[in-house]
Structures are given as structure tokens and as C-alpha cells.
Amino acid sequence: MDRKEFLSILGIGTAAIVCGTCMDGCKQEDAVVNAPTNVDFTLDLSDPANSSLQSNGGYLYKNGVIVARTGSGAYIAVSMACTHQGTTVQYDLSNNRFHCPLHGSNFATDGTVINGPASSPLKKYNTTLSGTSLRVFS
């Protein structure tokens, strides 16, 4: 084998490895994203740290959960990691949904998939409001 043939084979092998890695990153399979279990925490809505929940459309992240206040003033909570590749979702008030900014997956307020690439829902958590205390629990 001469030098030219060796470099040619080396280049083809390297290209195959790089291409395979790139293609693997483009799979549209859901990532293994573990939603928090046994969730049970309380947010004091009068605390300045939770002030984003004082207005409709506001949201915050706590313990792997996104807690949002809808346009109608209801409090909702789902797991914060997109089920496609684990990117943190955001609450989109104008469309009343959770949105993943990485690949564009959208989820309804109950966590169900509106459009992919995600195909698994976000885990939904219960919320109850008592005075200024908002409890989020499994």
C-alpha cells in the first residue's frame, strides 16, 4: 500500500465516523428523559423569588418542574425537560402551550404532544392554591 492509497482509506474511514456521528444526532427518537417523581413542594407567591407567577404568562423552574400561570390565571405544572432531547421547555402564553426552543416540539398545558419531533408527553403535576401558597405535587 502506498502513501496515497493509505491517506485515501484514512480519509474515507474518518468521513464515515463523522457522518455516522452526525446522523446519530439527528435521530428523532425520544431521549431517555426522566421526569421528576414524588414531587411535592410549595411556592409562596408573595416571595419576590416567585414574582413571575403573579402575572398571567409568567413561569418558573423548580426541582425539574416548570410551573406556569395561564392566560386565564390557572396554575399548571409539567416536567421541564423536553422528552425529545431534554432541552428546557418554556411556557408560551400567546399559544397557551409549552414550547421547546431547540427543535420546535410543542406540548399542550396537560403535557400532551401537539407536534414533534418529541413523541412522548411531558409529565403533568397537580397544583392547588391556598391563599398565597401554591402546592405542586405528583
> For the chain, what are the domain ranges?
1-30, 40-137
At 6-56, the pLDDT tens digits run 545 645 555 445 444 444 444 444 445 788 899 999 999 999 999 999 999
Rg for the chain, CA atoms, rounded: 21
DSSP letter (8 states) at residue 12: H
- Please state, in angstroms and rounded to a whole number, the distance separating the CA atoms of residues 128 and 66: 15
- Please state, in angstroms and rounded to a whole number, the distance separating the CA atoms of residues 29 and 138: 26
Q: Does domain 40-137 have CATH number 2.102.10.10?
A: yes
User: Which cell is 107 given?
Assistant: 406540548
| pTM of the predicted structure, to 2 decimals | 0.76
